């Protein structure tokens, strides 16, 4: 069991260990020693728009400098943009200061390797090992220097545009873009505009406190209203760090990550560009699996978390995978989940087929699915708790092979996630609440 790293880096409430300036100072030093080998290394730092990013950027910078590592600062930049620039600028590592879809009072750190991929467990373990050692400082003549990266946004915008065919023309298409007052506020609207679309912007006025606040991919309802009011063709909602996307069709209906994954996979399959299986997770809707099977496309479930989806993509020689949350990976386009690039693949499918988003998603019938988050201040052995398992077993009997039950602790928040899906929406909701009550009782 690792002490600091979760399924997606280090994350928590600002001011509470380990999300404190003193810890980030030492984390910068430890990461510099492990990832950039101390003297002479180069590390990229980017962040989202939450106010604490300034504080942690400075702390990490000091720690890296003490390790003899040069720092290249991007300022606000989407997580996938940091991955791309880490790779193309030939950095030893990239650091993301972000808590993704969480509120402003949370923050966290994610790392990318020199190849623009998430770190493997071995490297994260090595960083944790150095965090337990006394911090040292290189000789003054070898301290790391810091500088800003020129035109970081422009470089990433061009990369996003290059992820779709050169002939893609979005002229005549009206797109509402909700950037969650996060890291894509100066990126995604410009990408769509340069491809010819008429762009209506929302969630593009970050103030350090309003990131993910009633907007973005976790709250697409406001976007849906704007799409209908503006009579737009489509809406695109990113999360705070830009690695997730949820879309809205012209009728104002939300199109989630499972449906977007289906649309992208079907388009790739039609072009003969879909090697291997599509990779989903334990939380992926059963309707996605059935819709892909009808097309002759293989499907496999990974553990929840993009790092596990990535593992199965590589193991299968696959290129398309993702989660219902909108974290979609197109490995034939980039090295990590990217909300802007995923949205572009959907827009390209709309142009190729001439069909609106509502029609493109109609090939997949979603099963009713209920997800209940139960606050969990302590860890609980879900598999070994007799009362919980009895309720789960009873629920599975009632579903009679026509649905699924899944319980799992969140990897990023103090929650137990209870998911039930099946054909009968009323039964699904009843069973989910019964299981959630059992978990809550066990935690009391």
Statement: residue 156 has pLDDT above 90:
yes
For residues 251 and 434, what is the distance between their CA atoms, to the nearest angstrom?
Answer: 34
Statement: residue 105 has pLDDT above 70:
yes
CATH class of 156-363: alpha beta
Check residue 118 and report its DSSP letter: B
Statement: residue 39 has pLDDT above 70:
no
Catalytic residue among 100, 113, 219, 284: 100
Condensed to tens digits (0 to 9), the pLDDT of residues 215-230 reads: 999 999 999 999 999 9
Residue 162 burial (CB count, 10 A): 12
Statement: residue 195 has pLDDT above 80:
yes
For residues 229 and 209, what is the distance between their CA atoms, to the nearest angstrom?
Answer: 27
Condensed to tens digits (0 to 9), the pLDDT of residues 264-283 reads: 999 999 999 999 999 999 98
Statement: residue 90 has pLDDT above 80:
yes
List the one residue out of 41, 33, 65 whose CA is nearest residue 132. Answer: 33
Q: What is the pLDDT of the chain when averaged over all its residues?
A: 95
The fold adopted by the segment(s) 10-150 is Alpha-D-Glucose-1,6-Bisphosphate; Chain A, domain 3 (3.40.120)
For residues 234 and 249, what is the distance between their CA atoms, to the nearest angstrom?
Answer: 5
CA distances 145 to 64, 112, 114, 201, Å, are 9, 20, 19, 37
- Lowest-pLDDT range of 85-89, 278-282, 295-299, 306-310: 306-310
Average pLDDT of span 86-91: 97
- Is-cis flag, bond preceding 18, omega within 30? yes
Band (1; pLDDT cuts 50, 70, 90): low
* % of the chain with per-residue pLDDT over 90: 90
Statement: residue 166 has pLDDT above 90:
no
Q: Which two tokens stand for residue 291?
A: 């819709």
* % of the chain with per-residue pLDDT over 70: 99
For residues 306 and 279, what is the distance between their CA atoms, to the nearest angstrom?
Answer: 10
Q: Which two tokens stand for residue 414?
A: 């103090």
CATH class of 369-443: alpha beta
| Crossing angle of helices 152-161 and 339-353, rounded to 10° | 30
SS3 278: strand
Q: Say what the pLDDT of residue 383 is.
A: 86
Distance of CA 59 to the CA centre of its chain: 25
For residues 16 and 32, what is the distance between their CA atoms, to the nearest angstrom?
Answer: 23
Check: CB of residue 225 under 8 Å from CB of residue 202: no
Average pLDDT of span 188-201: 98
37 is catalytic: no
Give the ranges where 243-372 is alpha helix by DSSP (H): 257-270, 286-294, 306-316, 339-353, 357-360
Statement: residue 361 has pLDDT above 80:
yes
Domain boundaries, given as residue ranges, for the chain: 10-150, 156-363, 369-443
Condensed to tens digits (0 to 9), the pLDDT of residues 327-348 reads: 999 999 999 999 999 999 999 9
Check for a shared fold between 10-150 and 156-363. yes
Q: Which two tokens stand for residue 259?
A: 């449906």
Q: Say what the pLDDT of residue 242 is.
A: 98
For residues 126 and 349, what is the distance between their CA atoms, to the nearest angstrom?
Answer: 43
Using CB atoms within 10 Å of the CB of residue 283, give its burial: 0 to 12 exposed, 13 to 18 middle, 19+ buried. buried
Check: CB of residue 307 under 8 Å from CB of residue 412: no
For the sheet with 328-330, list strands across it.
299-302, 278-281, 320-322, 328-330
Q: Say what the pLDDT of residue 367 is.
A: 92
Q: Say what the pLDDT of residue 280 is.
A: 98
Average pLDDT of span 181-188: 98
Band (380; pLDDT cuts 50, 70, 90): confident
Q: Say what the pLDDT of residue 444 is.
A: 81
| Crossing angle of helices 121-131 and 21-35, rounded to 10° | 120
Statement: residue 38 has pLDDT above 80:
no
Q: Which two tokens stand for residue 1?
A: 């069991």
Average pLDDT of span 143-153: 96
Q: Say what the pLDDT of residue 10 is.
A: 95
* pTM assigned to the model: 0.91
Using CB atoms within 10 Å of the CB of residue 441, give its burial: 0 to 12 exposed, 13 to 18 middle, 19+ buried. exposed
């Amino acid at each position: 069991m690792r002490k600091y790293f979760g399924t997606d880096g280090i994350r928590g409430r600002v001011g509470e260990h380990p999300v404190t300036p003193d810890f980030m100072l030492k984390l910068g030093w430890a990461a510099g020693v492990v990832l950039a080998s101390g003297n002479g290394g180069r590390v990229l730092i980017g962040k989202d728009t939450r106010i604490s990013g300034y504080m942690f950027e400075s702390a990490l910078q000091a720690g890296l400098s003490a390790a003899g590592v040069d720092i290249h600062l991007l300022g606000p930049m989407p997580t996938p943009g940091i991955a791309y620039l880490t790779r193309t600028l030939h950095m030893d590592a990239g650091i993301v200061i972000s808590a993704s879809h969480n509120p402003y009072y949370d923050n966290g750190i994610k790392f990318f390797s020199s190849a623009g991929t998430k770190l493997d467990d071995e490297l994260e373990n090595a960083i944790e090992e150095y965090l337990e050692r006394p911090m040292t400082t290189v000789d003054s003549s070898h301290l790391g220097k810091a500088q800003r990266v020129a035109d970081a946004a422009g470089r990433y915008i061009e990369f996003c545009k290059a992820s779709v065919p050169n002939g893609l023309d979005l002229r005549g298409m009206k797109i509402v873009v909700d950037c969650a007052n996060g890291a894509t506020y100066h990126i995604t609207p410009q990408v769509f505009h340069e491809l010819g679309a008429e762009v209506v912007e929302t969630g593009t006025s970050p103030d350090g406190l309003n990131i993910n606040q009633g907007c973005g991919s976790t709250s697409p309802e406001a976007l849906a209203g704007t799409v209908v009011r503006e009579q737009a063709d489509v809406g695109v909602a990113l999360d705070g760090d830009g690695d997730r996307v949820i879309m809205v069709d012209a009728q104002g209906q939300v199109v989630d990550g499972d449906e977007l994954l289906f649309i992208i996979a079907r388009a790739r399959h039609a072009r003969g560009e879909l090697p291997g299986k599509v990779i989903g997770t334990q939380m992926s809707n059963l309707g996605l699996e059935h819709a892909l099977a009808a097309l002759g496309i293989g499907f496999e479930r990974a553990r929840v978390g993009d790092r596990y989806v990535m593992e199965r993509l590589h193991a299968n020689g696959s290129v398309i995978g993702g989660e219902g949350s909108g974290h979609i990976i197109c490995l034939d386009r980039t090295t990590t989940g990217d909300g802007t690039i995923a949205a572009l693949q959907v827009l390209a499918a709309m142009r190729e087929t001439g069909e609106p988003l509502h029609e493109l998603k109609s090939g997949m019938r979603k099963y009713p699915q209920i997800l209940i988050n139960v606050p969990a201040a302590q860890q609980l052995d879900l598999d070994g708790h007799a009362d919980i398992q009895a309720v789960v077993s009873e629920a599975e009997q009632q579903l009679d092979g026509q649905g699924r039950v899944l319980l799992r602790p969140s990897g990023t928040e103090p929650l137990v996630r209870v998911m039930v899906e099946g054909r009968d929406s009323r039964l699904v909701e009843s069973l989910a609440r019964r299981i959630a009550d059992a978990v809550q009782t066990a935690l009391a």
